[in-house]
Chain A
Amino acid sequence: MTIILLLIPIVLMLGLLGVVAFIWSVKSGQYNDLDADRYRILEDHDKPLSREEAMLHRRLTSFDDE
């Protein structure tokens, strides 16, 4: 039964990971516009953005002042 001394911390860690991931997703605005995001995944982007371009795009289009 002492196995639970190992299992419980693992469970807590995993749970914590889940909570942190959830908090991050809400704070990064992923729940702001569920209607449009459903369709955005269907978009065809022929040229993938470079890392800098992607970061710039994120910064420019986040509706922070809403």
Chain B
Amino acid sequence: MSDPASLLPSSEFQYKPFVRRLDDGMETLTCTLEGVRCGSCIQRIEDAVSSIPGVIAVRANATTHRMRLVWQAGEVQPETLLQKISALGFKPTPFNPDQMKQNARQHKEQLLLALGVAAFGMVMLMGFSYSVWAGLALDMGDNTRTLMHWLSALIALPVSAVAGRPFFTSAWKGLRHGQVNMDGPISFAVLMTLAASVAETVRGGEHVYYDAAISLLFFLLIGRVLEAGIRQNAGSAVDNLLALSGGIARKILPDGSILDIRDDELRLGDAVLVASGNHFPADGLVEDHACEVDESLITGETRPRLIKPGEKLVAGTLNLGQAVKMRVTAVDKDTRLAQIAELMERAEQHKGRHQILADRFAVYYAPAVFILSLLGLLVWRFGIGASWHEAVMIAVAVLVVTCPCAVGLATPVVMVGTVGQLMRKGIIVKSSDSLERLAEINGVVFDKTGTLTHGKPELQRVSSQELSGDFSVSLKQAASLTCNSTHPLAKALTSSCPTHAAPNVKEHPGLGLSQQGAEGETKLGSSRFCNISDEERQKWDTGAEDKELQELWFRIPGKTPVRFTFRDEIRGDAKQTVMSLKKSGLDVFMLSGDRANVTEKIAKEIGIEEWQGQCLPEDKVLFLQKHRLIGYKTLMVGDGINDAPALAAAHVSMSPSSASDISQVSADMIFQGEDLASIKSTYELAKRSMRLVKQNLGFAVLYNIITVPLALAGGLTPLIAALLMSSSSIVVMLNALRIRSA
């Protein structure tokens, strides 16, 4: 190895820029943790680390997968702690906690508080209400009853101020933007019911509905807390990724020494050393020597490109060659990567306008309830000639009985069950409306590289035959040369035939590997590097298609050169998944940043008729937008950085967990594992969950058809209202449990 810079020790854990000083000589570090499966993992980490002298505090969180370390500066090195954790089998990655968003947890906390207060209120009110119901049967005096009512008001009013806040603020916000959502009718019902009950209490009347109003809030809050739980789990996974994408850059100072700094601290004109296997932290120009770069995350192009001194490098691409020195020409918002991120943000805006089914239902439901209530009021006052007071009570009765418990719970309880089931299968769903959007699709768009294919080259053939006999010896020899190379083709050879590394192997970036031996030089690399003559090439040439495949030639002195061909293999279940999606009535498309002929071949093999190659990220977004205009609601499945804007622009999107960080942040759902079959099963589950939601809403309508006449006829009492409310909620929840038998 000729480059001295590549001999510099680099810490396995790049933590220095993230250590913060606290008072009293203490230092602290926050890390994300990978590999935490359950709470007992936390216990092991905390036990192991807290026993190290110098450690002041360690706390790991199993929900958010984060860890806080505090130690006395000088008494222990952070490196020791990180190594200990790593030795236990967990991968700690330091990050800057300022980058974290804390919304999900705070939101859940607020809802939990509201729920607790509502529960308290409901229990107390039930106590008083029950005494009144029992008392009415047993001859309770009017004054006692009025006392009970006043006490109920004393509890119900403050409780509704706290417990009702999530609904009131949401309804108010919706009203200001001209949108109707379910919270409008809910807030209206609660406030009207309380107002009428207070009026009735002042009058000393018989029917008050305090418990109904608070019970309504309680049941609805259950649904909200469940939904917030979904968001919290998905939210922290995403936030962790955001933290990881802020990495370290190795800046070369004027005196030649290296300083580790954060990516966002780089400035124009800085010199940066990028080691083999690392991503380029900013756009720049190559300074010292040519390097091979894997651009597939940005462009989707599978072949690495040789970039010579003076040529441009793009942030986010991978250095495959030896450590290289780069001069920064663009940082932050000016990089190509930032342009892609901006494209992504613009594409995402259309998602905010999607109304979930329950809210679309509310658009009809709210006015209907209001009209019925008003009708009751008018008919009783003017049609039947009742007093104002009686007419108002009828109107309130209608409001209470059309209680949107069933409607408000219809979606959350189904979604919680569905998301739970998907989580068990290893699929992360970020919000319940992404499941609704998934159920609506009529087309699926796949990215090619890394999604339908494995994304890395694999050994296909040795010379013109499958691995057999003599050739497998050559393979083993070649693999011994490639052991320490990070070039994708070399890695493909190493993984197909793991063996010991040969000594004295020299890497020539962009060309190949060589080894000086007794009989001469053994070479593995491009045909030019190995000096392959035309006739030697003819020997193994099997046709035109060969020219498109990536190849390596292997020349052992004195023997016939061997040719290795590589292919980015299609995933095993790709063809089947596409077929089953088509059978469900979905149109399937494929987009790729790779060359058109390669894309065409793969499309034919998988069975996709409509495809497009050589797509830049902008082209993918355009494709999706065009199809949206002609009526397509698409599911986009992709993995590279070049897919992130498309993932945001689609109606709904999925990403494998092997995808780049930005894609996982951009996608609505993330699926673990290698199986594309998850896509089909998630789609089926989403459709089933929407069926259950519609059943719940249908039940709510049916329930109203039966009970509204009862209320209009004056037959409703608080007791009956409470019973109806609880039973409708229970029916909806039981129906939602049917998702488990899917």
Q: Could you tell me which A residues sit within 8 Å of B by CB distance?
A: 1, 8, 11-12, 15, 18-19, 22-23, 26-27, 31-40, 42-44, 56-57, 60-61, 63, 65-66
Q: What is the distance, in angstroms, from A21's C-beta to the closest C-beta of chain B?
A: 10
Q: Chain B residues with Cβ under 8 A from A63's Cβ?
A: 59, 61, 64, 66, 68
Q: What is the distance, in angstroms, from B360's C-beta to the closest C-beta of chain A?
A: 33
Q: Chain A residues with Cβ under 8 A from B46's Cβ?
A: 40, 43
B102 within 8 A of A: yes
Contact A33 to B28, CB < 8 A, known contacts A15-B120, A15-B124: no
The answer to whether A36 and B63 have CB atoms under 8 Å apart is yes
Q: Chain A residues with Cβ under 8 A from B496's Cβ?
A: none
Residue of B nearest to A63 (CB): B61
A-B contact count (CB 8 A): 101
Q: What is the distance, in angstroms, from A27's C-beta to the closest C-beta of chain B?
A: 8
The answer to whether B113 and A33 have CB atoms under 8 Å apart is no
Q: Chain A residues with Cβ under 8 A from B66's Cβ?
A: 63, 66
Partner of A33, one of B61, B109, B155: B61
Q: Chain A residues with Cβ under 8 A from B61's Cβ?
A: 32-33, 36, 63, 66
B715 within 8 A of A: no
| Docked pose: A36 CA to B66 CA in angstroms | 12
Residue among A8, A18, A36, A43 having the largest count of chain B Cβ atoms under 10 Å = A36
Binds A, one of B37-45, B165-173, B185-193: B37-45
Residue of B nearest to A37 (CB): B39
Looking at chain A's contact residues, is the secondary structure mostly helix, strand, loop, or mixed?
helix
Which chain B residues numbered 29 to 81 have a C-beta less than 8 Å away from chain A? 38-40, 42-43, 46-47, 56-64, 66, 68, 70
The answer to whether A60 and B68 have CB atoms under 8 Å apart is yes
Partner of B42, one of A32, A40, A65: A40
The answer to whether B40 and A19 have CB atoms under 8 Å apart is no
Which chain B residues numbered 169 to 218 have a C-beta less than 8 Å away from chain A? none
User: What sequence of 0s and 1s flags, for each residue 146-161 of chain B, a beta carbon within 8 Å of any chain A beta carbon?
Assistant: 0000010011000000
B98 within 8 A of A: yes
Q: Chain A residues with Cβ under 8 A from B62's Cβ?
A: 33, 35-36
The answer to whether B109 and A61 have CB atoms under 8 Å apart is no
CB-defined A-B contacts under 8 Å, sample of 16: A8-B151, A12-B155, A26-B116, A32-B105, A36-B42, A39-B38, A40-B46, A56-B56, A56-B57, A57-B56, A60-B28, A60-B56, A61-B59, A61-B68, A63-B68, A66-B105
Contact A65 to B112, CB < 8 A, known contacts A42-B43, A60-B70: no
Q: Chain B residues with Cβ under 8 A from A18's Cβ?
A: 120
B97 within 8 A of A: yes
| Docked pose: A60 CA to B56 CA in angstroms | 9
The answer to whether A35 and B28 have CB atoms under 8 Å apart is no
Contact A66 to B102, CB < 8 A, known contacts A34-B63, A43-B46, A60-B57: yes
Which chain B residues numbered 93 to 135 have a C-beta less than 8 Å away from chain A? 97-98, 100, 102, 105, 109, 112-113, 116-117, 120, 123-124, 127
The answer to whether A36 and B124 have CB atoms under 8 Å apart is no
Which chain B residues numbered 260 to 289 have a C-beta less than 8 Å away from chain A? none
Q: Chain A residues with Cβ under 8 A from B40's Cβ?
A: 39
Partner of A26, one of B28, B42, B112: B112
Q: What is the distance, in angstroms, from A24's C-beta to the closest C-beta of chain B?
A: 11
The answer to whether A66 and B100 have CB atoms under 8 Å apart is yes
Q: Chain A residues with Cβ under 8 A from B57's Cβ?
A: 56-57, 60-61
A40-B42, A61-B68 given. 7 additional CB < 8 A pairs?
A: A11-B127, A22-B117, A26-B116, A27-B113, A36-B42, A57-B57, A66-B97
Q: What is the distance, in angstroms, from A36's C-beta to the closest C-beta of chain B?
A: 4
| Docked pose: A43 CA to B45 CA in angstroms | 11
Q: Could you tell me which B residues sit within 8 Å of A by CB distance?
A: 22, 26, 28, 38-40, 42-43, 46-47, 56-64, 66, 68, 70, 97-98, 100, 102, 105, 109, 112-113, 116-117, 120, 123-124, 127, 144, 151, 154-155, 236
Q: What is the distance, in angstroms, from B155's C-beta to the closest C-beta of chain A?
A: 8
Residue of A nearest to B106 (CB): A66
Contact A26 to B109, CB < 8 A, known contacts A38-B39, A39-B40: yes
Q: What is the distance, in angstroms, from A33's C-beta to the closest C-beta of chain B?
A: 5
Q: Chain A residues with Cβ under 8 A from B105's Cβ?
A: 32, 66
| Docked pose: A38 CA to B116 CA in angstroms | 21
Contact A35 to B39, CB < 8 A, known contacts A11-B127, A23-B113, A63-B66: yes
| Docked pose: A19 CA to B60 CA in angstroms | 29
Residue of B nearest to A1 (CB): B144
Q: Chain B residues with Cβ under 8 A from A65's Cβ?
A: 97-98, 100, 102
| Docked pose: A22 CA to B117 CA in angstroms | 8
Residue among B59, B64, B109, B127 having the largest count of chain A Cβ atoms under 10 Å = B59
| Docked pose: A44 CA to B151 CA in angstroms | 49
Q: What is the distance, in angstroms, from B102's C-beta to the closest C-beta of chain A?
A: 5
| Docked pose: A30 CA to B66 CA in angstroms | 16
The answer to whether A11 and B124 have CB atoms under 8 Å apart is yes
The answer to whether A19 and B116 have CB atoms under 8 Å apart is yes
| Docked pose: A31 CA to B66 CA in angstroms | 16
Contact A32 to B63, CB < 8 A, known contacts A15-B124, A19-B120, A39-B39: yes
| Docked pose: A65 CA to B97 CA in angstroms | 7
Residue among A27, A33, A56 having the largest count of chain B Cβ atoms under 10 Å = A33
The list of the 4 closest CB pairs from A to B, nearest first, reads A61-B59, A36-B62, A39-B39, A35-B62
Contact A31 to B112, CB < 8 A, known contacts A15-B120, A36-B61, A65-B100: yes
Residue among A1, A12, A40, A61 having the largest count of chain B Cβ atoms under 10 Å = A61
The answer to whether A26 and B113 have CB atoms under 8 Å apart is yes
Q: What is the distance, in angstroms, from B473's C-beta to the closest C-beta of chain A?
A: 53
The answer to whether A39 and B43 have CB atoms under 8 Å apart is yes
Contact A40 to B43, CB < 8 A, known contacts A11-B127, A15-B124: yes
The answer to whether A33 and B124 have CB atoms under 8 Å apart is no
The answer to whether A31 and B59 have CB atoms under 8 Å apart is no
Residue among B47, B68, B98 having the largest count of chain A Cβ atoms under 10 Å = B68
Q: Chain A residues with Cβ under 8 A from B38's Cβ?
A: 35, 39
| Docked pose: A18 CA to B159 CA in angstroms | 14
The answer to whether A19 and B43 have CB atoms under 8 Å apart is no
